[in-house]
Structure 1
């Protein structure tokens, strides 16, 4: 995702709308950027609902600051600048957004505010989608949260969006030297968080799920529907990383210990053993939407979304999200 597509016609039309105070034209010209700005805010905040709010805040600020747009930069760049600073203002007020160490000996952290991102809300532009997967995956989003807010902004603008250092320095009111220094420190932290991932975020990345990933999701759902604990265990790596948000903590467990823990917590026991599932994707990752029917219910109700990272045909990371109260995921509430 780069800023190599300045829409000068948009800039001229936007200036005309500003001069005439044409709110409808203003909305028409800025609305086309909503999805990519929302993804940008999500990378900054790791929370879908907050990203929605901050995207709306971006448009409000843009309207209030419309006279400041002179057309020297692309309208898109101007909106990203406003969105970035809106997120920084939000983070400055929310000290609870700092990752809390999990106490585990590895690189886990407790991000209680982490939410999944529905793929249906990702930008439709193919150029945006080229890099969307690896920079929207949960591991990447979590890794970025370990950066101080201003470093986070620099890293995303420089290494994800591909902005020149001079443009970033202008957007964040920093010197070019400060931007360069912040980026170097940010890269070190991200590399520590993602030691086994590639770090060239601007080159083309995987767009679609592989057949292997689709097969694992199907098997994961089938194991739930058959209450096949041995089959479920066989799908998990012995160094599985598991988290169930909004509960605190990330566990690293063997496959058998993980399944035994879920059973001890009541899953697959009488009353919590009638499962259905549908394959889906969130954060451009394979996921299973799990539905549970309790003895007193006529239908299977949406219970959780399990987001999977598949390595060599087995599940290496499983992040579960309580799916209740999240209509924006676009999943049917019952089956």
Structure 2
């Protein structure tokens, strides 16, 4: 379909939607739903919060469509509505945390730790629907770069207005003037917020993104790393696991508060807990936050199968794993479309 025909179709659907045609409204927003959801995740650090925020934002847009005057694109207007919805959520709930935010690392394995339920934890994001490259010509970040764990975790250290300004400018390619209109403020205030936000993010995010690292590593080596991690976990092979890691590797497991830094501490934890004390593992490769991920299922004797346990998001430096973030809990598996259980294999009997 030509750009002219597409514009006419959008204008027609917009007129119908303003008259109360919800099917026309659905046709208007459906092509933008995935990128709006990713924006909500970047703002909020939680897939579940992003679900709620997007639903709320589209309801607000539907009810307020008669006030959309067409001075900006529909896409820009929907981002304005979604951003304000997320800012309301940030004001109510505050920021999401990672274990590293709560205290120093542990030198030795902590066994039998109870999850900390009163902390709003950062969660993983299913990135299968994200496109490659930037969301707009003027954007600094690629779409997948902008959901990488380090970037989203850094955003959580920003006040809501700085978070929104940085995302709208660097990820979505809005101008400072457009952001000022979106956030009902001045261009000077936007530029000030951007300056402060960039400084904090630069302190917390590596200069080389995971997307650049993964492209340099290559698909074949990446498959070897994921397969090696999975095999080591399933067979209890500490030597294979350690060979994949950098000297300064970290391992964290939200909602557990203890985390480990350095090869000695990580090895002690790995040997004492997942490689020894756990009853058995099966793993599936997947992708979260634009990064290689291993979905780990743990053996459940009573059910005679493997149940969801954690999504292990791997962060690479060169062709070694420098960070493992294990998001524990079966609820994380649902947005990824992963199986609710895995059966016993012949080799397990």
* Separation (CA, whole Å) in 1 of partners of 2:226 and 2:182: 42
| Whole-angstrom distance in 1 between the partners of 2:58 and 2:218 | 33
Residue in structure 2 matched with residue 331 of structure 1 by the alignment = 338
Aligned residues: 318
Deviations 1:269-328 (A, max 9, x none): 36x242221211111210111122144442122221110012222110110011412311
* Counterpart among 158, 164, 169 of residue 175 in structure 2: 164
Are the counterparts in 2 of residues 112 and 248 from structure 1 also a CA contact under 8 Å? no
Query: For the Cα contact (< 8 Å) 1:15–1:70, is it kept in 2?
Result: no
Alignment of 1:49-68 (within 5 A): 49-68=48-67
Q: Does the residue aligned with 2:145 lie in a helix, a strand or coil?
A: coil
For residue 78 of structure 1, what is the aligned residue in structure 2?
A: 77
For 2:24 and 2:18, locate their aligned partners in 1 and report how far apart those are by CA, in whole Å: 11
Q: Separation in 1 of the partners of 2:184 and 2:73?
A: 18
2:269 to 252, 261, 271: 261
Match of 2:208 among 191, 194, 197: 197
How big is the shift at 1:157?
0.3
Q: How does 1:19-58 map to 2 (within 5 A)?
A: 19-58=18-57
Secondary structure of 1:325's counterpart equals helix
Contact 1:213 1:310 in 2 (8 A): no
**TM-score (structure 1 length as normaliser):** 0.86
Secondary structure, aligned partner of 2:72: coil
Q: In the superposition, relative to structure 1, how do residues 73 and 9 fare at CA in structure 2: closer, same or farther (>3 Å)? A: farther
Cα RMSD between the aligned structures? Answer: 2.9
Change (3 A) 1:207 1:178: farther
Partner deviation per Cα, 1:110-134 (whole Å, 9 max, x = no partner): 98421111123x3458764991221
Task: Give the one of 288, 294, 298 matched to 1:292.
Answer: 298
Question: SS of the counterpart of 2:34?
Answer: helix
Counterpart Cα distance in 1 of 2:174 and 2:216 = 22
Distance 2:243 2:302 in 1: 32
Q: Which residue of 1 aligns with 2:198?
A: 187
Q: Distance in 2 between matches of 1:147 and 1:127?
A: 22
Query: 1:319 is matched with which residue?
Result: 325
8 Å contact from structure 2 (residues 18, 65) kept in 1: no
What's the secondary structure of 2:69's corresponding residue?
coil
Match of 2:257 among 239, 248, 256: 248
Q: Equivalences for 1:117-266 in 2 at 5 Å?
A: 117-120=125-128, 122-123=129-130, 128=135, 131-197=142-208, 210-254=219-263, 256-264=264-272, 266=273
CA separation in 1, counterparts of 2:176 and 2:257? 37
Alpha carbons of structure 1 residues 98 and 228: separation in structure 2 relative to 1, 3 Å? closer
What TM-score do the two structures reach when normalised by structure 2? 0.82
Alpha-carbon distance in 2 for matches of 1:177, 1:212: 47
Give 1:97 shift.
4.2
**Residues 250 and 293 from structure 1, CA distance in 2 versus in 1: closer, same or farther, beyond 3 angstroms?**
closer
Instruction: After TM superposition, give the deviation of residue 257 of structure 1 in Å.
Output: 2.2
Q: Does the aligned pair in 2 maintain the 1:41–1:54 contact within 8 Å?
A: yes
Deviation string 1:144-203 (CA, Å, 9 cap, x unpaired) is 11111100000000011111111000000010111111101111011011143369x9x9
In the alignment, structure 2 segments of 5+ residues that lack a partner are 1-5, 106-115, 343-349
Check the 8 A contact 1:227/1:268 in 2, yes or no.
yes
User: What secondary structure is seen at the aligned counterpart in 2 of 1:316?
Assistant: strand
Distance 1:147 1:330 in 2: 31
